[in-house]
Structure 1
Amino acid sequence: MELKQILVFMDNLEHSADRLELAIDLAKRHRATITGLKVAVHPLIPMRRGHDKEAGEELAQLFRERTAAADVKGAWITADAKALGGGVVEAISHYATFADLVIVGQSEHGSTERRATDFLPEKVVFGSGKPVLIVPYAGRYKSVGRNILVAWKTGRESSRALSDALPLLQAAESAHIFEVNPSNDEVADMEGLRRYLASHGVKAQVETSAITELGIGDVLLNRVSDEGSDLLVMGGYADLHFGTYVLGDVAKHVLRHMTIPVLMSH
């Protein structure tokens, strides 16, 4: 797979500008096209509707100005959530059909206000069928994918994430595959992973670690810091909770405390 179509979700000016910068960086390196997506949710309060319309116009202008200045092909879409039969997640998942990568922002924690974007990243991971690049709401990230850490756990989700990340891994300056507390069989799998990546032109270092004191999520975040990684790739494992699939504890912890962008697939 090549990275040729990037979908970036834009919902507010400050954080959307950061996501757009990342999308532009990736588009220039992979000769890709960017689609900017704003979802109209039709608030009940008339004043709020007017504010959302004005914000949408500002986002569209920002998108067109930034892509033109970077000489990157771009297309802007304002989607009607109701027309697509749902809310923000359903709209993003619909347009993800036509993209190789979806870029969204991390959910903000600690607010008492309910928002349409609460738990949005994990819902898009489950609903879009595409790799999702989640950008932290704190900090600025102008580039991504030069030093990649892949969190590995033998299984479908990690396998899917690794395959989805191949275009980024092939363009990376360095790549590390890291597994915490593997079984003996999983240790043996690491050499197979090395050969698989080498067949795709990716020279990766593989490493396993036995940890008992820290949670796996914290171990991954510490390794990100130690390696100076600018992207974490991981599978989005799902647990069934009261009839609804939710992210497993490790992925949930990483998305809550992430310090760099995370590429997640399910």
Structure 2
Amino acid sequence: MTQGRRERADAARNRRAILLATEDLLTRHRPEEISMERVAAAAGVGKGTLFHRFGSRMGLMRALMEERAVALHTSVESGPPPLGPGAPPRERLYAFLDGIVDVVSRNKGLVAALGHAASTAHRPPARKTGRQDRTGTAAEEADQGQEPEQVCAVPRGRAAQEPDDTSDAPDRHGHPHDHPVYDFWHAHISALITAERPDADAELLAHLLLSPLYSTHIHAALERGEGARVARALRTTAGAMLDAPETPEETPPSG
């Protein structure tokens, strides 16, 4: 029993060291410069440990983003209104959009890294095209011969639904940034829109509200410290969506 407890403590310590090392590297390097080998060296662990813990580079970035977003998640579930339960849907939506902008503005490098990890999903494996630079993300991930255990944390209720992500592939919707954090943000926004406007296409509107946060232009604004401006614009957009008159669905032309 003592050995088991020690092993769990060591695993937790390694996980924390890996996430801290990744976070530090993202403050000093572009996402494409951060390989799994580089993270392992910075964290003082073996590269095999890194793959075993997180499955892939995308899995690592997801885990870090989930940890950064957990405070917002907790506030939504059990915090005071308007972010938490008890406020009207519109007020909760505005407060939630403010919270998302705050998370993204403090984690621009991480959001970019998630996008870069997904964009490298289908690079040709090294064993098919000759040896690539061993510090490259595609080569080192392609050389892992088996599917490692996926143990990175996900928001409650999501674990059983998450697909294996060792390939860094986009999900079935084709959105390169989809991950448990995005899924939760999208689901919560959709629910609030539906509560305020049951006739609205809440699923699509939620994607439209979130998509600007992955724009290079919005990231540039956040880099300039214009988070409040971005949040106001999102509130304006959301308000316009909620106040728009109901329009009938278009019917496809016949014949």
- TM class, shorter-length: under 0.3
Structure (1 or 2) with the greater helix fraction: 2
Q: TM-score, normalised by structure 1?
A: 0.22
Larger radius of gyration: 2
Higher relative CO (Cα under 8 Å, sequence separation at least 6) belongs to: 2
Q: TM-score, normalised by structure 2?
A: 0.23
